[in-house]
Amino acid sequence: MKSIVQVFSFDVLSKVLLGGTGILLIRLMSEVEYANYTLALSIVSLITGSWILSCNRVYIVGCQNSKIETSPSSFLGFQLYGISGLVVLSLPIKGFLEGIYWFIIALIIATCLSEFAKTVFQHQLQFFRFSMVELARTLIFIVSLLVLISFFRYDLKAGHVLLVQAAAMLCVFSGAFRKYFDLKSLLKIDESTRLALEMVKGEYKYVFGYFFVLAFFSQVNVFVLKTIAEDVELATYGSAFRYYSLLSLALGAVHTVLLPVVQRVQSIGDLENILYQHRRMLLLFIPVVLLGAWASQWIIPWIDRGKYPDAVMVFQILAISAIVSFAFSPHSNLVMRFEDFRFLFILINLGLLVNVGLCIWLVPRLGATGSAVATLIAFGSVNGSIFLRARKYRKSLASLTQGDS
């Protein structure tokens, strides 16, 4: 509980600070530039969720496995070689990204480095150092952005903002990861190849598949809006999603702490204590979210000066989705604890199909609001299914504990 509160508190502080800069970006950037910035962040989030976070989860879940275990620098090198391959494969769509392609690549690489530094601390249960990485890169980004705004003001471009974000992450990585950095291990192609083969041959391929689809799942709305809707709809969704991201901080804090903690659970008593603490937090989370959703009808128009009127409804729907995700968050970690990766992979693919189908049907009718409705229904279905699956493993853990006693 203490660790979750600590991670959550630092995340809140970081995101509140970023929220202030987000308001500036909404006000200063043109609709086209803000739409480009939203698209760029979605692509970075897609790669982060599908490759970077997948690798980091495998590092936490599987580094006790003798076939996966390796030095931090070697594992980071494995991730960077994977990103290099993605860069080569993505070159044909370079023109589609309207001059921001290389800025996106820079931010992806910087995110990879920064997130892995956090993962090392997460695995070691050093949650204070984990949080300090997040806070430090936020502060550096804000200062750099304010300098940028002083020069460009209303001529601020998406590429400018992406570049200073990448620079802030690189700066923090160089300080946080210095103790673990070994260039020779980082560049070992044979070790990266060995890790890739071990993961492809084993159950961990489903982990990568699950997080890849989950990342695309969370961003597919942006791509559908970009394809079949006007830029103003995409900008509306992007604006609402920034506010929704503040609500997701609690969910992120829970997963940050629970993933390594649940991996160490050995008895049903330990698990029940974790679930009890989570229920206490849920009772606090729900009224705060509902209050924020109610107040958004005045707060959001004040922030964007009425620029995106539909953002209020989009945010309120996404707020309900945040409650659902928070309520079911421990159970996905439990399913992962028992390495039921294949189930998670199949389920998230079915959820993605539901989400895409609903988006295609609802977006032409309701615009960005329809996209939010699709997300709520699809994510709710996936989380409910994971909860039912987790009940099986709670019973298994109870039987195992009774058998040992």
The residue whose two tokens read 């996106």 is 104
Categorize the per-residue pLDDT at 264 as very low, low, confident or very high, splitting at 50, 70 and 90. low
Report which of 8, 235, 242 is spatially closest to residue 130, judged by C-alpha positions.
8
Q: Does residue 232 fall inside a structural domain?
A: yes
Q: Does residue 63 fall inside a structural domain?
A: yes
Contacts by residues 254-257 (CB-CB < 8 Å, ≥ 24 positions apart): 254/4, 254/8, 254/278, 254/281, 254/326, 254/329, 254/330, 255/329, 255/333, 256/4, 256/7, 256/122, 256/127, 256/130, 257/3, 257/4, 257/7, 257/127
pLDDT score at 347:
93
Six token digits for residue 275:
């679930």
Report which of 160, 207, 122 is spatially closest to residue 25, judged by C-alpha positions.
160
Q: What residue type is assigned to position 265 of the chain?
A: V
Same domain, 190 and 226: no
Same domain, 26 and 105: yes
Same domain, 379 and 233: yes
Q: Does residue 212 fall inside a structural domain?
A: no
Report how far Cα 32 is from the mean position of its chain's Cα atoms.
Answer: 25
Q: Which of 202, 228, 260 is the last residue of a domain?
A: 202
Residue 118 Cα distances to 172, 243, 315, 367, angstroms = 11, 24, 29, 37
Q: Tell me: the pLDDT tens digits for 60-84?
A: 776 655 566 677 888 888 889 989 9
Q: Please, what sign has the CA dihedral across residues 139, 145, 146, 148? A: positive
Q: Which of 202, 229, 255 is the last residue of a domain?
A: 202
Q: Does residue 7 fall inside a structural domain?
A: no
Is residue 405 over pLDDT 60? Answer: no
Same domain, 81 and 123: yes
Question: Please, what is the Cα angle at 18 between 135 and 159, to 5 degrees?
Answer: 105
Neighbours of 29 (CB within 10 A): 23
Secondary structure letter of residue 50 according to DSSP: I
Q: Does residue 61 fall inside a structural domain?
A: yes
Helix (H, G, I), strand (E, B) or coil at 271: helix
Residue 64 Cα distances to 92, 139, 279, 335, angstroms = 39, 35, 30, 18
Is residue 236 over pLDDT 60? Answer: yes
Q: Tell me: the pLDDT tens digits for 98-143?
A: 788 899 999 999 999 999 888 888 777 777 788 888 888 889 998 9
Report how far Cα 170 is from the mean position of its chain's Cα atoms.
Answer: 19
Report which of 313, 321, 280, 276 is spatially closest to residue 296, judged by C-alpha positions.
313
Average pLDDT over every residue of 303-317: 87
Share of the chain above pLDDT 90, in %: 18
Task: Pick 268 or 56 by higher pLDDT.
Answer: 56
Same domain, 194 and 229: no
Q: Does residue 208 fall inside a structural domain?
A: no
Mention every residue, 6+ apart, whose C-beta is less than 8 A from residue 92.
none
Secondary structure letter of residue 202 according to DSSP: S
Same domain, 150 and 231: no
Same domain, 184 and 228: no
Q: Which of 202, 234, 266 is the last residue of a domain?
A: 202
Q: Tell me: the pLDDT tens digits for 157-203?
A: 888 899 999 999 999 998 888 887 777 878 888 888 888 787 777 67
Same domain, 379 and 256: yes
Six token digits for residue 57:
């989860």
What's the mean per-residue pLDDT of the chain? 81
Q: Tell me: the pLDDT tens digits for 321-341?
A: 888 888 887 788 788 777 788
Report which of 282, 271, 283, 314 is spatially closest to residue 296, judged by C-alpha positions.
314
Same domain, 331 and 398: yes
Same domain, 152 and 234: no
Q: Does residue 105 fall inside a structural domain?
A: yes
Same domain, 92 and 227: no
Question: Which range is most confident: 56-65, 95-104, 389-398?
Answer: 95-104
Categorize the per-residue pLDDT at 315 as very low, low, confident or very high, splitting at 50, 70 and 90. very high
Residue 147 Cα distances to 21, 143, 150, angstroms = 12, 6, 5
The Cα–Cα gap between 226 and 245 comes to 20
pLDDT score at 33:
84
The structure's pTM equals 0.69
Segments forming the whole domain that contains residue 233: 219-405
Q: What is the total count of domains within the chain?
A: 2
